Amino acid sequence: ELRKWAKAIDDERKRSKKVYMDSFNTYENKVKSVVEALNTTAQKIANDVDVYIQEKKDKLRKEREEIIEQLKEVLIKKEMISREYANKFVFDEKWLNASCSNKKFQSEAETQFNDLMNQENLYKKDMELIESTIINTCTMVGVDEKLIGREKYKLQYQVGNNLGDITKNITDEINALKTQKEALKAEAEKELQHQKVQLETQHKKELEKVQQEAVQQPSIEPNKDEQIFKRGDEIIAKTTGKYVVTEIKETPEKFNGKTWTKTFEFTGDLASLQMLNRYMEFLKQSKEFDFNEVKMIEKELVEPETGTVSKYNVKEIN
């Protein structure tokens, strides 16, 4: 009997649950439908608002970018800033916020342009300092400033290297070139001294040979013996028999690289001119010396109207 009551109670529970759940499911479906409708409407409104706000921002961006571009061109035209630095201007996205007034935008834009102008002025001054450091240091130590590349030091500056470190690098490079130049000069002087010794030795041997030949020639007249020719106190040549001996001169260092052009007219017999020609040919062995023979050529000119023939001399350089 108890089991029958228990079963009856449980059946009633199941029936009540079914009735209750059917009612709840109906309610739940209605609520979900309302919630979905509200969310759909809210999303549509949000999308419409976003589109409106974006369109407003796009319009505002265009207006303010035009203002920036106009200000940029004015500053460039007045040479207050270069185009390179003016193009570094960065548009701030916060200028599109509703809270950013036109006055605030203009003030901040002008401030950014002022900062760019100050940056460029500082860059120019620092570049002038780098250039003057190169020129002055090269002048002091005797190094050609054209040997110093500027671009690498500009790049060092642009990547943020300290100006003091850059000037030190410049000084170090120039001093290294000075040391190299001095080493090359010392080597050249050493070679020049070696050549000088060789020439002096050769000259001495040739002089001794000439003197020996002069002694061995009994037919030489007394007035053909060694004679010394001077210009003031300077001995410019010696004659021993039929030979003339003169010193090989060296250009003083302060005149190195400088040349002179002289024009002479010579008059003499065949032997004199042959001797002169030999000296000139010998001097041409030096790359710093050259000479040309000038001849007078007689030419005729016929007057086309009268047929008169006129003769005249023309200098011809061989």
Per-residue model confidence (pLDDT) at position 111: 96
Per-residue model confidence (pLDDT) at position 299: 65
Question: What is the C-alpha separation between 82 and 122, in angstroms, rounded?
Answer: 13
Per-residue model confidence (pLDDT) at position 304: 64
Per-residue model confidence (pLDDT) at position 175: 92
Helix (H, G, I), strand (E, B) or coil at 310: strand
Question: What is the C-alpha separation between 119 and 132, in angstroms, rounded?
Answer: 20
Contacts (Cβ under 8 Å, ≥6 apart) of 309: 300, 301, 302, 303
CB atoms within 10 A of CB 313: 10
Place of tokens 């050769």: 202
Q: Could you tell me the CA-to-CA distances from 145 to 148, 157, 178, 290 in Å, in that order?
A: 6, 20, 11, 32
Cα 259-264-267 angle, rounded to 5 deg? 150
Residues of the chain with pLDDT under 50: 220, 222-223
pTM of the model: 0.46
Question: What is the C-alpha separation between 66 and 60, in angstroms, rounded?
Answer: 10
- Helix, strand and coil in the chain, % to nearest 5: 65, 10, 25
